[in-house]
A and B are shown apart, each in its own frame.
Chain A
């Protein structure tokens, strides 16, 4: 059992090392800088520019957070500060079910619900033509996917705010909302940041749902109504054919390594903050 436990800790590093070793051949021929800044993706000509994919990932993630964060913050505040226990008892299980829905189902929903709305109603107001398969669509689908994690973690963080603090503010004549704005949110800020970072890293790595609605155009998007090609989609779409072209599999493993490193750091950061909050609360 000791061995199993130690193995599990080292497993995190094993993944990193394993992916690095498989990606290493790529570094012999290309500098890290050229990989990040190159915008041409032509594996058969030995050109591996990751810039469009990195920008694709950033666009969908940013849109997802911009859409989801205000909605989830307000929902979590409502659930912890205003709502009757009955509402909470319904909403939190709903969030659990939402979290359990498989990514491919989100993708199907995106195709039939979000894509037409973007194509028919949203995009025509801003641009001439859009297929509906855009980074905006991907962002909206991702936003719904991160609802559960944001709502449940932010609710938990808000619940750790001492009641005395709120009572003090209320008794000084502040309204409920003023108390929330000036006391609760201020106090919960580190936890909210941690939850957001966690949600960002979830959005970062989501593959299939995004792949299904983003259009997969290997060009860096310049507006929200352009198609995009996030990193995870790049890996998923090309894994089959990579074996025949030299360095192709190294390039895809590099993409996986990139995702791993970023998500590892984000998760580490937010979990340490959240653990500290929980620890303070329980002691």
Chain B
């Protein structure tokens, strides 16, 4: 092959690469841009401060406060429950077990796989558990489903953070006569920022996911007060309003989408800064 042809090929692919990079990178702005353009005209103060009033679904007064609160409750409850399960697991896998042990290896693999299981499967599974336990679609059901969904996210994130803790710290603590439990507490203090990242990631996932709460949380126009009441969620509210033929209701779907996007962007950006701060 002549040198000129080789050069041309080099340039051609470089151009292709830059073009792909631009397409891939701009997709985020395209999505957020579309949501902002569509949502801003319909965003009112009522949207975030009021629950649906009478006739809301034919375009009358109200907002989606019920769904915002419902989503925050479900994601919050699931995050707390998830932490209670994930911290002991990740501590056990990394501090109590030797890195190469069969249990630690297979548990980590199991979490990698669970991480890839789609939320609709978690939703269907949680729904079966609920039927079995006699729980109907409610705040509690939603929390169960979302907890199942986010435990793998938490364990994997914590696992990655613990891996960045110098091994000497663990050895130093152990050699000073600390028990493994005390060592775990030392490590825990060390990875605090990482825990915040795990919390934010899981919370964001919990707020945004639909398929897991679709059959487990139900839907209600009221702000839930007890765990056995059905609860609306923001993504589901968007989905329902969008399928309405009435323009006002559709407009509210756009505004709700904008609210959800803003919540998620805040969460992701905060967690990004926490993560980079932790690295330095």
Contact = CB atoms under 8 A, between A and B. Distances in A.
Determine chain A's interface SS by DSSP, over half rule. Answer: helix
A137 B23 CA distance: 17
A107 B31 CA distance: 10
B215 to A, nearest CB: 5
A253 interface: yes
Given A107-B239, A232-B120, A259-B118, 6 more contacts: A72-B20, A102-B264, A104-B235, A205-B120, A253-B128, A266-B116
Contacts of A113: 30-31, 34
Contacts of A79: 21
A147 B26 CA distance: 11
A124 interface: no
B261 A105 contact: yes
B92 interface: yes
Contacts of B238: 104, 108
A4 B125 contact: no
12 contacts: A5-B89, A6-B103, A19-B128, A75-B24, A91-B24, A101-B32, A102-B264, A105-B35, A207-B211, A212-B242, A235-B124, A263-B118
Interface string B105-129: 0110111111111111100110111
A193 interface: no
B27 A259 contact: no
Interface residues of B, number: 79
A74 B117 contact: no
B30 A74 contact: no
B261 A101 contact: yes
B267 interface: yes
B46 interface: no
A106 B31 contact: yes
Of B85, B118, B207, B209, the most chain A CB neighbours within 10 A belong to B118
A175 interface: yes
A87 B196 CA distance: 27
B28 interface: yes
B211 A208 contact: yes
A101 B121 contact: no
Interface string B1-44: 00000110110011011111101110110111011001000000
Nearest to B127: A239
A161 to B, nearest CB: 17
A32 interface: no
B107 to A, nearest CB: 5
A275 B106 CA distance: 12
Contacts of A8: 89, 107, 110-111, 114, 151, 155
Contact of A103 (B20, B30, B209, B272): B209
Contacts of A275: 109, 112
Contacts of B204: 100
Interface string A211-242: 01000000000000000000010011001100
A6 B208 CA distance: 29
A281 interface: no
Given A8-B110, A12-B113, A78 B17 contact: yes
Contacts of A204: 118
A1 interface: yes
Given A263-B118, A268-B113, A105 B31 contact: yes
A272 B110 CA distance: 11
Interface stretch (B53-61, B168-176, B252-260): B252-260
B129 A18 contact: yes
A35 interface: no
A102 B20 contact: no
B210 A256 contact: no
Interface in B157-176: none
B114 A11 contact: yes
A96 interface: yes
A19 B9 contact: no
B7 A175 contact: yes
B20 A5 contact: no
Nearest to B11: A177
Given A19-B124, A82-B17, A256-B124, A1 B92 contact: yes
B143 interface: no
A202 interface: yes
A157 interface: no
